Amino acid sequence: AGACLMLSSMLHSIATGNLLPASVRTVCVDINPAVVTKLADRGSFQAIGIVTDVGLFLEQLANELCAEA
């Protein structure tokens, strides 16, 4: 996998992040800034943290992806 979206479930996201190689780009999305910091701070420059509501994020992502098709 070249990228991994980690959405709203801290424990599952941490477990998944621990299994991924450092070369995989990760995007961590959660409403809680502490969770985003914990998930994005994997010692990897490929990690991106976004503090927002996951439902809003997914709606915007779907709109952007559908607009390109």
Q: b/e string for 7-35 if b means 16 or more Cβ within 10 A?
A: ebebeebeebbeebeeebebbbbbeeeeb
Name the band, by pLDDT with cuts 50, 70 and 90, for residue 62.
Answer: very high
Q: According to the model, what pLDDT value does residue 9 have?
A: 87
One-letter amino acid of 60: Q
- Return the pLDDT at 43: 63
CA distance 37 to 1: 22
Alpha carbon separation from 10 to 3, 20, 31, 64 (Å, rounded): 18, 15, 11, 25
In this prediction the pTM is 0.80
Phi (first) and psi of residue 23, to 5 degrees: -75, -15
Domain borders along the chain are 3-68
